[in-house]
Each structure stands twice: as structure tokens, then as C-alpha cells.
């Protein structure tokens, strides 16, 4: 098995390598090539350095990231990993570091912002993971509930308890073999998140002799944490809606240069430091970092306590264990180490095993901690151990959709049950489900929450003729939020008008004082919109629901006919630079959507504010335990994060319709990423660079590397078998590659590349991200003037320009003065002499030499004549 990237018709990467470390390195390489901007942006988020290239608008997030000590937390978590997991994560990071400069050269955002790449820290994946999920449990909702209690009273906080637009939810369901046509389970669903460009999930397959797993990865994170199919076992998750983060009101006092915080046992020292945030287009901002015994202070005298900070663990040890799992028992055992976020898990295996459990770490403490901000100085709010994660049996189709259920004892706010109830209703109607039937569930648009509003309209009197006609239309409506339905649009307009009027009743809740990054959680309109069912069911003083409904109906009726729902309900993927989805030369696609927040096809806008959809299915999947290749999946845009790439948004039409793309598992039906390059050189000929196949090219290569003129390669004393082993090994690893250079279809040279991070040379100098090492060998008999220089220039173009590596590294033997002189004339800067191990045995004294992309492109082509036997490295 060699180290290769294969792709299907949608550009989905299928990665193949000889062992897990080589495979995860290749996963890092692939992520960096396909998602460079996304990776570096997410890394800068956990570091709190996005304002340096995005400007003042990013300052609130950077301030929170610094104050919450995200970077320090994940470094601790990395240091607490076992050695094997550290090595696995580090291999991924090395792959990212090697390929990120090349990926960045293709991503226009880097030039647009002037963002310069930095070498990734080994713990960067942990930082990205924590950053994505730090708001997942919705601790800012405690700020809102505290605000409500202050102005309306404690008994009013539950009015607004509902899954809102900033809570990451999901649908997921498992159909056991007793209800499928094959007798094997089917698992399907769709995680709901903000729709981003590029998307948060990447379809991928990871294959090595130890395992072969496909699923949905998060770019920047090794493995497949949330959704995977390993052949014998498959799994998926939804947000458990658990509460596992606490917010404390702190009293701080300063005594000279020290800081103290008041706790249950009196005043205690708190740590303090200062951090400076660089801001593009503005002066740097100095922020104070304070941490009490509860946790980091995140502004306005509030501290945040969260499990990874307390435990020094994120649960990354689980990720490689999931890849090796072959049964639900393996998954269950692995998930005991899960920390963040807290998920509901559904899984099945081919032997009939089923798993329904909660995975994560939830502190044990009083109920009030889960509701609101609690005073740090009062006793009774401390954490007291950890909750036991619930398990449940499966005796029929099982659904997880963020409603109160298996995780009900662990949280405060859950989704309305409409999605869960609708999925159960659909699945219970049959016992012969197939994986191909799953899109019927994915794209269901029946709106379970419509009845309450429609019932309110039904009892109205003294309406205008237009309002009567509109009410009749709405009451006869099938309650499906289809993009083509103007009645669905009319319903949404009436709902919006009701929400707007009801929000006026809660004007006292405007302008809650919280750190700026949390202000979106304090918008009464949001909370009224998503708590509408609770509010309409409540007996609110001074609220005349009939008057509100009549005014809303008359308002919409007076506007006349509504356009179809899809004309206003359109997806608007988020991008840090508000970047476009379509390149200037591309034909735009209509982005109209079916569905609504409480539909199974959940496409969430903010009722009362806009019809534009920001949150929806970040992916859809259907896993078949009977036949993995019968399954299907889709993401909102595509496999590539590069604007203008053929696979940037080629899945968008499928996603908009609620369809899925096929999963291809037959390697013969996939196409391999070929490393090739062709250049037409006037007066010289056609230069082609192709990756070598050791079985095809071994006789040719053996003759070249054992020739007397190639003595400095150190392979002259190796047997044919040993040379074959060397080149088969180089073909098997993702860090080293062997190429043949053809001139007019005749092989004339050999060169080998390597990632210095995976080569002994890397221990002799300070590696920069994207460095590529190169060895170069000319075949006997240079036939024309300028031969070597022209070939070197073509190789430089391929590696430095086409592949966008920022720097070439070479290390010829110090005795090979011709090669050193050639490199110097070509523009390489000569470095120190170092000791480098040889392939056979011993070491050589080598001379380091470096050629940057800038120097190469500034110098232009080399045309000076070459002497025979030069440029052997």
C-alpha cells in the first residue's frame, strides 16, 4: 500500500497509507491543501490573533479567547496526552506545516488580508477543537437568564428556554435491523450548525492496514470524531444539550501589584498578567488576564469554569481509538474518555450491537449553577465530582434531535420536540427501510410548531376581507415549508409580525450589560422568536394575544400576495471576509431553501428579524451497516475551500434539494492525485515530471544510482534487492517522493523530495513551514548546452511555483564541489556543513543550501552551459 490521495467525482479525498502515523500525516497534508484559509483562520481564533488581520470587528472575540485562556488550556491538554496520542497529533500537524504554504498560495484570502503563515504548534488541533466548541454548551444563555431574572423575576426565566439560533443542534436516527429490508441497521442524520464557507465538515476516507474508516472530519482535527463508518461499526452524534460550564460573579480587589478574589473561604490570590492584542488599522489593545480559583475572568467581573481548564484534558485520546473500533463495545469503551463537547451517540455494528449513550464530562453541582450566574463568594456552588453518563437500550427506531431525552438530567435548555416527534412518526410507518430512503426523512418540511399560531388566527373576528382570505389560505395549508410555497411565506410573515409585536412587550430586557462578544445572546428579539411557543402558551399580563394576532394578520394581508418561501428564505454562508460563494466567472446558483427551524429539514432564520438562513444542515449522511458503499452523504458546498476550484460548491445543488451524493469505496472507481508537471521550453523541448513507480522504473533507477558518477548518493554498495526496498519504501510514505524527468518522452534525470520534518536532515537546521528537501541526479551524458540548468529551473518551477513550497533545501556531499557550485550558480544560498546519516550506513558531511521562492522567481531561468557529470547530489 503506497501513500496516495484518491478522489471521487466530487473531489472527496480517500487517503491511503502504510500505517496510522503516515495516514494522519497525509490527512494533515490534504487538509492544508484543500482548506488552507480555514485552517489558519481557526488556529488564529484560539490564539486570539484574528484582529491582527481582520481589524477591530474581531477584537471582541480575541479578547474573549485571551481572557478565557484558550491557548494555555490546550497546551496543557496536549502535554497531558499519552505519548502515543501526542505522536499521532504531532504527525497531523507536521503534515499541515508541510503543505500549508502551498495551500495558502491557492487561497485568495491570504493575499486579501496580508495574513502571513506561522508554523503550527503541536497542540493547534486541540486549540481548534476547543474554539469550535467553547460556546457549544451555551453558557452565555446564563447571562441572559440572569438578566431576565433581574428584570422580570425568577419565575420568568423558563419563558425563553428553547433551542435558539446560536445553539448547535442536530438530527440523528438509528433504524435497527428489525425495521430495515436488509436486516442490518441504518444510521442517518444531519448536524445543524452555522453554514460557513468553507464548511465545518469535510467528507473523507482514512485507510491503512489497521483500519479503513470514512466519515465527516473537521478540518484542522485529525481522525473522524463525530461521524464515521468503519465497515463493521458506524456511529454518529448530536448535541446532548448538556450544561457543563459555569459562570461566576467575582469580587476582585487589588493590593499593590497583586490581585485577590473573594471565594467561599474568604479572599484568595488570583493570577494576573497583561496581553496585547494587535489590531489591523488601529492601535494595539492591552487587556488584563485574571484567573481566580473558579476560572479565568472573561470580562465584567465574570469568571468561566469549564472542564478542559479544570482537568487539563480534551479527550483527544479517544479519536484514534474510534478509528480502530470494530464493534459498539469498542466505541463504548473509547467514549469513556470523551470530554468536550457532550454528545448523544448512536452506533451499530454488523453483529447486531446497538449503542445509545451520552459521552462527555459534566460536573456535579447544584441546579442553580445550570440556570444562571452564581456568586463566587457563596458556598454551595463548587463542583463536586462528575456525573455518570447515561446509557439507554434500543428496541426500535431511535431518534436524537436535541429534545429532552436520554440527556435530560444533564441540561436546562432543550430543543422543542417537533423534529424528534416528526422523525419518530416517519420511521414508525414502515419496517422495510433502506439507506436509499433516508433522504425522505432528511428533506421533510412539515412544520410541527405551526399549529399554535394557526389556532390563534382561527378565533379572530372583525377582520378585513383580505385578512379573512389570508386566514382561510393559512388554515387550509398543508404546513409544509416548501421553497415553492407562497403560503409558507405568508405564514412566516405573519409569525414575524407576531414576534415583532410580542418583543415590544419585553423592551425592558434590551441592553443587557455583558462583554461585547456575548451581546448576540442578549437580543430579546432572538429569544422571543425561539421561545414563541412558550410565550404564547403563558398567561402574560398586559399581553392581548388576539390583538397581536389580528394586527399581524392584517399587516401581512395588506401587503398583498407573498413571493414563494424560497425567494426570501435563502442560505447565506458565513465567511470572515464576507467572501462570495461564486467566482466572478461562475454562474450563480439560486440559493432558495425549503424548511424552517422546527422542520426535520431544519433551516433556521431568526423569525421576526429576517428570512435569511444562517443555520442548517452542515452535512447529511446515511450509513448502511449491510453495505458501506450503499450509503451516501453531502455537505452544503464542496470538498474544496478554494474559491473557483471545481469542487468548491459542486455539492450545493444536491444539498439544496435534500439529496445525497454516493459514497464510493472501490479504489478502482476513484482517481489518484497524480504529481505531474509539463513545461514547453523553446529551443529545448518538452519537459515532463512524473512520479516514479518503483516496480516500473526500478531497473532504470538502479542503473543510475549505482553508476560511478552517482557515488555521492551512497548507494553503490547496495544490492539490487536493497535498492528495490529503498524505493518501495519511499513510495509507501507520504513524506518522500521520487520523480523522473523526461525530455521529449525520454527519461533524463531523477530527483527525490522529502519533508525535512521526517528526514534526518531536519535535525541539523531550523525547519520552516513548507520546506521541501530535494536530491537531483542527471542521467549519463548531458546532450546539449544549458541542459542541467534548464532541468533545474523546471524542477524549481514545479516545486516552488506550481506546488508553492516557499523554500528548497539541498544537502550535497561536501566533496561534490561540482554540485555545490551548480546550486550556488542557480541561486541557492549556501549554509553550514552538517553530518547526515547515509541510506546504507555511516554518515556524510553535507553542505546545506537553500533556495527561496522569491529568489528563484526574481532570478528567472538559468541558461548557462552545464558540464558533464555536474548536478549529482
In the predicted model, what is the mean pLDDT of residues 418-429? 96
Q: What per-residue confidence (pLDDT) applies to 459? A: 85
pLDDT confidence tier of residue 1, bands split at 50, 70 and 90:
low
Looking at residue 777, the DSSP 8-state letter turns out to be E
pLDDT confidence tier of residue 166, bands split at 50, 70 and 90:
low
Residue 243 confidence (pLDDT) above 90? yes
Residue 431 confidence (pLDDT) above 60? yes
Of 563, 580, 603, the position where a domain reaches its end is 563
Mean pLDDT, the chain, as a whole number?
Answer: 92
pLDDT confidence tier of residue 710, bands split at 50, 70 and 90:
confident
**Does 177 reside within a domain?**
no
CB neighbour list of residue 683: distance below 8 Å, 6 or more residues apart: none
For cell 467572501, the residue is 579
Q: What is the pLDDT of residues 737-778, one digit of tens each?
A: 999 999 999 999 999 999 999 988 988 999 999 999 999 888
277 or 707, higher pLDDT: 277
Of 506, 535, 563, the position where a domain reaches its end is 563
Residue 785 confidence (pLDDT) above 90? no
| Angstrom distance (rounded) from CA 566 to CA 603 | 11
Residue 871 confidence (pLDDT) above 60? no
Domain enclosing residue 766, as ranges: 676-859
In the predicted model, what is the mean pLDDT of residues 366-373? 94
In the predicted model, what is the mean pLDDT of residues 339-349? 97
Q: What is the pLDDT of residues 267-315, one digit of tens each?
A: 999 999 999 999 999 999 999 999 999 999 999 999 999 999 999 999 9
Same domain, 697 and 845: yes
CA Rg value for the chain: 30
**Does 754 reside within a domain?**
yes
Q: Distance between alpha carbon 202 and the CA centroid of its chain, in Å?
A: 7
For cell 524549481, the residue is 796
Residue 496 confidence (pLDDT) above 70? yes
pLDDT confidence tier of residue 843, bands split at 50, 70 and 90:
confident
Residue 870 confidence (pLDDT) above 80? no
**Does 497 reside within a domain?**
yes
Q: What per-residue confidence (pLDDT) applies to 567? A: 97
Dihedral (Cα; 143, 148, 150, 154), 10-degree rounding: -110
Q: What per-residue confidence (pLDDT) applies to 868? A: 29
Q: How far apart are the first and last CA of the chain?
A: 29
Q: What per-residue confidence (pLDDT) applies to 239? A: 94
CB neighbour list of residue 663: distance below 8 Å, 6 or more residues apart: 214, 628, 629, 630, 631, 632, 633
Peptide bond into 198 cis (omega under 30): yes
- The percentage of residues in the chain with a pLDDT greater than 70, rounded to a whole number, is 96
**Does 532 reside within a domain?**
yes
189 or 162, higher pLDDT: 189
Q: Coil, strand or helix: which one is 775?
A: strand
Q: Are 195 and 602 a contacting pair, CB within 8 Å?
A: no
Of 522, 541, 563, the position where a domain reaches its end is 563
Residue 284 has φ and ψ, to the nearest 5°, of: -60, 155
**Does 798 reside within a domain?**
yes
In the predicted model, what is the mean pLDDT of residues 368-380? 95
Q: What per-residue confidence (pLDDT) applies to 865? A: 30
437 or 872, higher pLDDT: 437
CATH no. for residue 551?
1.10.1400.10
What cell does 811 get? 544537502
Same domain, 682 and 826: yes
Residue 680 confidence (pLDDT) above 60? yes
Max mean pLDDT among 7-16, 498-507, 508-517 falls in 7-16
**Does 496 reside within a domain?**
yes
In the predicted model, what is the mean pLDDT of residues 202-222? 97
Q: Are 862 and 856 a contacting pair, CB within 8 Å?
A: no
| CA geometry: angle 592, 595, 597, nearest 5 deg | 120
Q: What per-residue confidence (pLDDT) applies to 840? A: 57
pLDDT confidence tier of residue 660, bands split at 50, 70 and 90:
very high
Q: Among 119-133, 454-468, 659-673, 829-843, which is the least confidently predicted range?
A: 829-843
For cell 436546562, the residue is 412
| CA geometry: angle 191, 192, 195, nearest 5 deg | 115
For cell 453541582, the residue is 365
In the predicted model, what is the mean pLDDT of residues 719-734? 88
What cell does 716 get? 553503490
**Does 573 reside within a domain?**
no
CB neighbour list of residue 817: distance below 8 Å, 6 or more residues apart: none
Q: What is the pLDDT of residues 68-111, one digit of tens each?
A: 999 999 999 999 999 999 999 999 999 999 999 999 999 999 99
Residue 841 confidence (pLDDT) above 70? no
What sign does the dihedral 45-51-55-58 (CA atoms) show? positive
Residue 381 confidence (pLDDT) above 60? yes
Q: Are 501 and 546 a contacting pair, CB within 8 Å?
A: no
Residue 169 confidence (pLDDT) above 80? no
Looking at residue 11, the DSSP 8-state letter turns out to be -
Q: What per-residue confidence (pLDDT) applies to 159? A: 86
**Does 159 reside within a domain?**
no
Q: What per-residue confidence (pLDDT) applies to 674? A: 87
Count of CB atoms situated within 10 Å of the CB of 282? 12
In the predicted model, what is the mean pLDDT of residues 718-725? 87
Residue 708 confidence (pLDDT) above 80? no
Q: Are 745 and 758 a contacting pair, CB within 8 Å?
A: no
Q: What per-residue confidence (pLDDT) applies to 683? A: 85
| Angstrom distance (rounded) from CA 850 to CA 863 | 20
Q: What per-residue confidence (pLDDT) applies to 161? A: 74
Q: What is the pTM of this model?
A: 0.94
Residue of 362, 259, 315 whose CA lies nearest to 81: 315
Q: Among 18-32, 157-171, 567-581, 845-859, which is the least confidently predicted range?
A: 157-171
How many structural domains are present in the chain? 2
Looking at residue 518, the DSSP 8-state letter turns out to be G
Amino acid at each position: 500500500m503506497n501513500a496516495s490521495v484518491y478522489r471521487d467525482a466530487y473531489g472527496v479525498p480517500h487517503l491511503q497509507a502504510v500505517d496510522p502515523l503516515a495516514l494522519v500525516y497525509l490527512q494533515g497534508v490534504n487538509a492544508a491543501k484543500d482548506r488552507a484559509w480555514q485552517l489558519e483562520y481557526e488556529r488564529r481564533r484560539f490564539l486570539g490573533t484574528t484582529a491582527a488581520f481582520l481589524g477591530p470587528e474581531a477584537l471582541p472575540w480575541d479578547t474573549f479567547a485571551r481572557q478565557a485562556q484558550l491557548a494555555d488550556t490546550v497546551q496543557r491538554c496536549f502535554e497531558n496526552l499519552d505519548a502515543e496520542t501526542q505522536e499521532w497529533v504531532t504527525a497531523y500537524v507536521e503534515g499541515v506545516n508541510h503543505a500549508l504554504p502551498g495551500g495558502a498560495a491557492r487561497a485568495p484570502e491570504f493575499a486579501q488580508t496580508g495574513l502571513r503563515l506561522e508554523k503550527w504548534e503541536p497542540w493547534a488541533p486541540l486549540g481548534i477543537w476547543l474554539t469550535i466548541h467553547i460556546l457549544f454548551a451555551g453558557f452565555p444563555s446564563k447571562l441572559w437568564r440572569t438578566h431576565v431574572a433581574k428584570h422580570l423575576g425568577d419565575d420568568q426565566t423558563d419563558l425563553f428556554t428553547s433551542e435558539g439560533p446560536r445553539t448547535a443542534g442536530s438530527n440523528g436516527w438509528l433504524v435497527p435491523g428489525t425495521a430495515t429490508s436488509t436486516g442490518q441497521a441504518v444510521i442517518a442524520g444531519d448536524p445543524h450548525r452555522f453554514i460557513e464557507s468553507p464548511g465545518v465538515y469535510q467528507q473523507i476516507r482514512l485507510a491503512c492496514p489497521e483500519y479503513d474508516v470514512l466519515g465527516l472530519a473537521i478540518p484542522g482535527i485529525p481522525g473522524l470524531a463525530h461521524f464515521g463508518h468503519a465497515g463493521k461499526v458506524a456511529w454518529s452524534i448530536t448535541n446532548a444539550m448538556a450544561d457543563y460550564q459555569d459562570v461566576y460573579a467575582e469580587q476582585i480587589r487589588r493590593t499593590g501589584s497583586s490581585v485577590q478574589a473573594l471565594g467561599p473561604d474568604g479572599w484568595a490570590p488570583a493570577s494576573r498578567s497583561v496581553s496585547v492584542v494587535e489590531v489591523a488599522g488601529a492601535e494595539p489593545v492591552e487587556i488584563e488576564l485574571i484567573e481566580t480559583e473558579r476560572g479565568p475572568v472573561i470580562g465584567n467581573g465574570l469568571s468561566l469554569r469549564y472542564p478542559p481548564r479544570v482537568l487539563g484534558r480534551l479527550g483527544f485520546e479517544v479519536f484514534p481509538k474510534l478509528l480502530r473500533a470494530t464493534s459498539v463495545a469498542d466505541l463504548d469503551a473509547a467514549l469513556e474518555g470523551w470530554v468536550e463537547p457532550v454528545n448523544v451517540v448512536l452506533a451499530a455494528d454488523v453483529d447486531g450491537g446497538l449503542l445509545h449513550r451520552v459521552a462527555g464530562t459534566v460536573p456535579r453541582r447544584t441546579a442553580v449553577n445550570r440556570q444562571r450566574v452564581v456568586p463566587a463568594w457563596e458556598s454551595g456552588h463548587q463542583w463536586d465530582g462528575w456525573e455518570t453518563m447515561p446509557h439507554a437500550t434500543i428496541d426500535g427506531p431511535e431518534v436524537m434531535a436535541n429534545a429532552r431525552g436520554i440527556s435530560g438530567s444533564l441540561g436546562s435548555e432543550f430543543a422543542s420536540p417537533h423534529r424528534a416527534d416528526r422523525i419518530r412518526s416517519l420511521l414508525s410507518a414502515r419496517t422495510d427501510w433502506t439507506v436509499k430512503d433516508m433522504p425522505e426523512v432528511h428533506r421533510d418540511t412539515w412544520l410541527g410548531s405551526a399549529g399554535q399560531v394557526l389556532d390563534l388566527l382561527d378565533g379572530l373576528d372583525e377582520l378585513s376581507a383580505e385578512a379573512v382570505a389570508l386566514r382561510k389560505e393559512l388554515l387550509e395549508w398543508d404546513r409544509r415549508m416548501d421553497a415553492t410555497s407562497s403560503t409558507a411565506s405568508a405564514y412566516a410573515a405573519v409569525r414575524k409580525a407576531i414576534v415583532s409585536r410580542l418583543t415590544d412587550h419585553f423592551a425592558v430586557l434590551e441592553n443587557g450589560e455583558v462583554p461585547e462578544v456575548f451581546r448576540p445572546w442578549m437580543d430579546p428579539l432572538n429569544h422571543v422568536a425561539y421561545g414563541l411557543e412558550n410565550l404564547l402558551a403563558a398567561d402574560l399580563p398586559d399581553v392581548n394575544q388576539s390583538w397581536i394576532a389580528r394586527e399581524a394578520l392584517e399587516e401581512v394581508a395588506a401587503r398583498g400576495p407573498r413571493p414563494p418561501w424560497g425567494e426570501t428564505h435563502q442560505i447565506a454562508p458565513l465567511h470572515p471576509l464576507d467572501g462570495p460563494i461564486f467566482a466572478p466567472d461562475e454562474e450563480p446558483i439560486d440559493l432558495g431553501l425549503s424548511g424552517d427551524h422546527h422542520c426535520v429539514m431544519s433551516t433556521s432564520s431568526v423569525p421576526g428579524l429576517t428570512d435569511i438562513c444562517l443555520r442548517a444542515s452542515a452535512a447529511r449522511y446515511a450509513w448502511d451497516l449491510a453495505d458501506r458503499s450503499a450509503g451516501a452523504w453531502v455537505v452544503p458546498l464542496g470538498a474544496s475551500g478554494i474559491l473557483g476550484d471545481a469542487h468548491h460548491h459542486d455539492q450545493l445543488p444536491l444539498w439544496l434539494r435534500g439529496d445525497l451524493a454516493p459514497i464510493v469505496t472501490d479504489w478502482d472507481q476513484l482517481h489518484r492525485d497524480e504529481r505531474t508537471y509539463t513545461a514547453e521550453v523553446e529551443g529545448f523541448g518538452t519537459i515532463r515530471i512524473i512520479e516514479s513507480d518503483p516496480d516500473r522504473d526500478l531497473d532504470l533507477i538502479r542503473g543510475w544510482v549505482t553508476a560511478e558518477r552517482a557515488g555521492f548518493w551512497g548507494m553503490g554498495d547496495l544490492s539490487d534487492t536493497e535498492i528495490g526496498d529503498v524505493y518501495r519504501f519511499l513510495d509507501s510514505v507520504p513524506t518522500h517522493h521520487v520523480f523522473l524527468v523526461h525530455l521529449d518522452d525520454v527519461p533524463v534525470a531523477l530527483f527525490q523530495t522529502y519533508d525535512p520534518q521526517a528526514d534526518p536532515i531536519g535535525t541539523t537546521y531550523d525547519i520552516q513551514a513548507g520546506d521541501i528537501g530535494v536530491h537531483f541526479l542527471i542521467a549519463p551524458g548531458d546532450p546539449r548546452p544549458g541542459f542541467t540548468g534548464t532541468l533545474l529551473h523546471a524542477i524549481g518551477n514545479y516545486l516552488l511555483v506550481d506546488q508553492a513550497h516557499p523554500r528548497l533545501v539541498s544537502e550535497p556531499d561536501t566533496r561534490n564541489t561540482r554540485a555545490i557550485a551548480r546550486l550556488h550558480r542557480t541561486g541557492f544560498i549556501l549554509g553550514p556543513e552538517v553530518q547526515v546519516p547515509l541510506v546504507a550506513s555511516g554518515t556524510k558531511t553535507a553542505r546545506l543550501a537553500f533556495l527561496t521562492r522569491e529568489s528563484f522567481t526574481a532570478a528567472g531561468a538559468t541558461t548557462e552551459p552545464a558540464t558533464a557529470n555536474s548536478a549529482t547530489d
